[in-house]
Amino acid sequence: MYSLEHKKYLKKIKKDKITTIIYQITIFIIFITLWQILANLDIINTFIFSSPKRIINTIINLYNKEHLLNHIWITVYETFISFLSATIIGTIIATILWWNKKLQKVIEPYLTILNSLPKVALGPIIIIWFGAGIKSIIFMALLISLIITIINVYEGFNSVNKNKIKLMKSLNATKSQIFFKLIFPNSINTIISALKINVSMSLIGVIMGEFLVSKKGIGYLILYGSQIFNLDLVMSGIIILCIVATALYYLIYYVEKIYEKTTH
Amino acid sequence: MNNILETKNLKKIYHTEKQETLAVEDFSFNINEGEFVAIVGPSGCGKSTILSILCGLESKSDGEIKLNKNTKIGYMLQQDSLFEWRNILSNCLLGLEINKSLNQKTKKKVIDLLNTYGLKDFIYSYPDNLSGGMRQRVALIRTLATNPNLLLLDEPFSALDYQSRLAISDDIYNILRKEKKTMIMVTHDIAEAISMCDKVIVLTSRPAKIKSIYNIELENKSTPVNNRKDKKFSYYYDSIWKDIDYHV
Ligand SMILES: Nc1ncnc2c1ncn2[C@@H]1O[C@H](COP(=O)(O)OP(=O)(O)OP(=O)(O)O)[C@@H](O)[C@H]1O
Ligand SMILES: [Mg+2]
């Protein structure tokens, strides 16, 4: 049983949490209502700024007539494929570089160049290589998150405490034992934070890719909306994107939580 | 008695891009099977370096090391380096996993050791939840787990408070004696060196050279705690104290 002081403490924490949530919801409601009122009073031009009501109607319409779920699914699917391949390929390349320090030194400047290059500049080339389809989109997103994954994971591998490596050596561990019993498990936290960055990176890449080539997906909806000057569609696309991005982020967040639970 | 380890004119230079550091010079000594030897010396003089060379973790720059065949070294490093993602038991089993000798019997021995050293309730805890002294005990058990016969202990009790330090050094002493182990221990505690060991090697400040070697011959050799009350104890204490160059 907790002491009285501790119960008071817990109560206060809970109260703080609830007030925060109340503030957050209030801000949201005020923002939406204000937007709608200004639109109703014709103070803002709904043709350019849209309005909450019109956005909701557009989303319902999209859902009923335009296979909205299909568009969302395509974007999520592309994001996942590029996200997973970036994580796996990136970790494998980081492992190879860890294994072979010399190779790492030789390759380092190339990685830096690739990392600082705005990948969207490669868009036209990618389209020529992979065609105007889903392959180009995935490759684009992959490029964006791959290099940063390699760099982050490799740094994670290298930041392992020297004394721990010394300990493994004193126990006569082989290089692969050092990797699998020390370096890799020690870097799982780094890899998970790389995942968090990757999922947003991949989504950025996918939307960029959809802007460039696609006929489907949330990026396509936004771009199409702007081309036919339907700002309701553009806004709706952005709102949907916000929800998808948040959902993806929390997905990784829960993976992290589950991982933490199994180890502690 | 059998000579288990002998070194001749050991020398170690550390090289970095900016400078070279002469850490050990002209270090010659030998140790017989079953002997306990303490190495004392000023901080930073090269004590850990010597253990690392003996264990093969660092290369020597010059000199000779003769190690008796069938000698299995167990090295307890100065930092405990427990793996945060492994629980206490599996930290202790690391060495057994690595040399592929983990089985029911070896595992049971480790669990027994953990029970003996007051870690019974922490076998499945994680290192973050342990005090410094407990972590050090875990590190010691991890070293003992692979059943080495020559132990190199680098400040094995430094994180313990005075009381547990006395108790544990008594325990360790008894275990190692009973199992006829050989031990080289680095410590900064002169009393600990005299009370636990047969020989005390005093090093100069860096580069570590041998300043003097004391064969500890007490009137009544007994356990470490009792040895501290021996008549000749303070004689050794004073002499060793004077031999160490303390820079203030
Ligand atoms: N890997 C290394 N590279 C370069 N210099 C080193 C390295 N390890 C140790 N040294 C240097 O060698 C000298 C001896 O270090 P060592 O750790 O052996 O001392 P020590 O006697 O164990 O010290 P302490 O009492 O603090 O544990 C120090 O001056 C240290 O800076
Ligand atoms: Mg040291």
Residue B95 predicted with pLDDT over 90: yes
User: In this predicted model, what pLDDT tens digit does every residue of A16-71 receive, in sequence order?
Assistant: 999 999 999 999 999 999 999 999 999 989 888 899 999 999 999 999 988 899 99
The per-residue pLDDT for B248 is 53
Q: Is A96 inside a domain boundary?
A: yes
Residue nearest to atom 16 of ligand 1 (CA): B46
Q: Is the bond leading into B207 cis (omega within 30 degrees of zero)? A: yes
- Token duo for residue A127: 């389209």
Query: Shortest CA distance to B116 belongs to which of B128, B108, B124, B104?
Result: B108
Q: Is A18 inside a domain boundary?
A: yes
The per-residue pLDDT for A192 is 87
Please answer whether residues B2 and B33 qualify as being in contact, where contact means their C-beta atoms are separated by less than 8 angstroms: yes
The per-residue pLDDT for A10 is 92
Q: Are residues A111 and A12 both part of a single domain?
A: no
What ipTM, to 2 d.p.? 0.88
B154-181 b/e with 16+ CB inside 10 Å = b?
bbbbbbbeeebbbebbbbbbeebeeeeb
The per-residue pLDDT for B62 is 93
Q: Are residues A15 and A60 both part of a single domain?
A: no
Q: What is the mean pLDDT of residues B99-121?
A: 92
Q: Is B45 in the pocket of ligand 1 (CB under 6 A)?
A: yes
Q: Are residues A40 and A113 both part of a single domain?
A: no
In order, the DSSP letters of chain B are: --EEEEEEEEEEEEE-SS-EEEEEEEEEEEEETT-EEEEE-STTSSHHHHHHHHHTSS--SEEEEEE-TT--EEEE-SS----TTS-HHHHHTHHHHHTT---HHHHHHHHHHHHHTT-GGGTTS-GGGS-HHHHHHHHHHHHHHT--SEEEEESTTTTS-HHHHHHHHHHHHHHHHHTT-EEEEE-S-HHHHHHH-SEEEEEPSSSB-EEEEEE---SS---HHHHTT-TTHHHHHHHHHHHS----
Which residue carries 């009285």 as its tokens? A4
The per-residue pLDDT for B1 is 63
User: In this predicted model, what pLDDT tens digit does every residue of B13-70 receive, in sequence order?
Assistant: 999 999 999 999 999 999 999 999 999 999 888 999 999 999 999 999 999 999 888 8
Chain A closest-CA separation from residue B10 CA (Å): 20
Q: Is A174 inside a domain boundary?
A: yes
Q: How far apart are CA B184 and CA B39, in angstroms?
A: 7
Which of A78-82, A152-156, B124-128, B171-175 shows the lowest per-residue confidence on average (mean pLDDT)? B171-175
Q: Are residues A70 and A31 both part of a single domain?
A: no
Please answer whether residues B218 and B196 qualify as being in contact, where contact means their C-beta atoms are separated by less than 8 angstroms: no
Q: How far apart are CA B5 and CA B33, in angstroms?
A: 8
How confident is the prediction for chain A on average, in pLDDT?
91
**Rounded (5°) CA angle A208-A209-A211:** 65
Q: Are residues A24 and A149 both part of a single domain?
A: no
The per-residue pLDDT for B232 is 86
Which residue carries 């050094």 as its tokens? B169
pTM for this entry? 0.84
Q: Is B48 in the pocket of ligand 1 (CB under 6 A)?
A: yes
Asked whether the beta carbons of residue B94 and residue A171 sit closer than 8 angstroms, the reply is yes
Please answer whether residues B137 and B153 qualify as being in contact, where contact means their C-beta atoms are separated by less than 8 angstroms: no
Q: Are residues A3 and A59 both part of a single domain?
A: no
Q: Are residues A25 and A139 both part of a single domain?
A: no
* Residue A64 CB neighbour total at 10 angstroms: 9
**Residue of A171, A192, A259 for testing the chain B interface, max B β-carbons within 10 Å:** A171
Q: Is A38 inside a domain boundary?
A: yes
- Token duo for residue A21: 């949530």
In ligand 1, which atom is closest to the CA atom of B21?
5
Q: Are residues A23 and A65 both part of a single domain?
A: no
B61 Cα–ligand 1 center, Å = 15
Domains belonging to chain B, first-starting first, are 3-72+149-244 (3.40.50.300), 82-146 (no CATH)
Q: Is A49 inside a domain boundary?
A: no
Query: Shortest CA distance to A250 belongs to which of A196, A178, A212, A202?
Result: A196
Domain count, chain A: 2
What's the CATH number where A130 sits?
A: 1.10.3720.10
How confident is the prediction for chain B on average, in pLDDT?
90
Q: How far apart are CA A146 and CA A151, in angstroms?
A: 9
Q: How far apart are CA B115 and CA A51, in angstroms?
A: 69
Q: Are residues A248 and A227 both part of a single domain?
A: yes
User: In this predicted model, what pLDDT tens digit does every residue of B178-215 receive, in sequence order?
Assistant: 888 999 999 989 999 999 999 999 998 888 889 989 99
Residue A1 predicted with pLDDT over 80: no
Q: How far apart are CA A110 and CA A114, in angstroms?
A: 6
B23 Cα–ligand 1 center, Å = 7
The per-residue pLDDT for B168 is 83
**Residue of B81, B143, B144, B150 for testing the chain A interface, max A β-carbons within 10 Å:** B81
Enumerate the residues of chain A whose CB falls inside 8 A of the CB of residue B79. 163
Q: Are residues A135 and A69 both part of a single domain?
A: yes
B60 Cα–ligand 2 center, Å = 17
B85 touches chain A (CB under 8 A): yes
Q: Are residues A17 and A70 both part of a single domain?
A: no
User: In this predicted model, what pLDDT tens digit does every residue of A80-97 receive, in sequence order?
Assistant: 999 999 999 999 999 999
Please answer whether residues B210 and B201 qualify as being in contact, where contact means their C-beta atoms are separated by less than 8 angstroms: yes
DSSP state of A34: H
Q: What is the mean pLDDT of residues B219-238?
A: 87
Q: Best of B14, B155, B188 to mutate for ligand 1, by most ligand atoms within 8 A of CB?
A: B14
Q: What is the mean pLDDT of residues A152-174?
A: 94
B75 touches chain A (CB under 8 A): yes
The per-residue pLDDT for A104 is 93
The per-residue pLDDT for B91 is 96
Q: Exposed, middle or buried, A122 (CB in 10 Å: 0-12/13-18/19+)?
A: middle
How far from chain centre, in Å, is Cα B96? Answer: 20
Q: Is A4 inside a domain boundary?
A: yes
Residue B116 predicted with pLDDT over 90: no
Query: Shortest CA distance to B203 belongs to which of B44, B30, B73?
Result: B44
Last residue of a domain, one of A25, A44, A63: A44
Q: Are residues A33 and A104 both part of a single domain?
A: no
User: In this predicted model, what pLDDT tens digit does every residue of A186-235 receive, in sequence order?
Assistant: 998 888 888 888 898 999 999 999 998 878 999 999 999 999 999 999 99
Enumerate the residues of chain B whose CB falls inside 8 A of the CB of residue A159. none
The per-residue pLDDT for B247 is 62
Provide the domain limits for residue A8. 1-44
Please answer whether residues B72 and B149 qualify as being in contact, where contact means their C-beta atoms are separated by less than 8 angstroms: yes
Q: Which residue has the higher pLDDT, B185 or B222?
A: B185
User: What percentage of chain A carries pLDDT values higher than 90?
Assistant: 71
Q: Is B12 in the pocket of ligand 1 (CB under 6 A)?
A: no
Enumerate the residues of chain B whose CB falls inside 8 A of the CB of residue A182. 83
Q: Is A115 inside a domain boundary?
A: yes
Q: Is A133 inside a domain boundary?
A: yes
Q: Best of B10, B48, B189 to mutate for ligand 1, by most ligand atoms within 8 A of CB?
A: B48
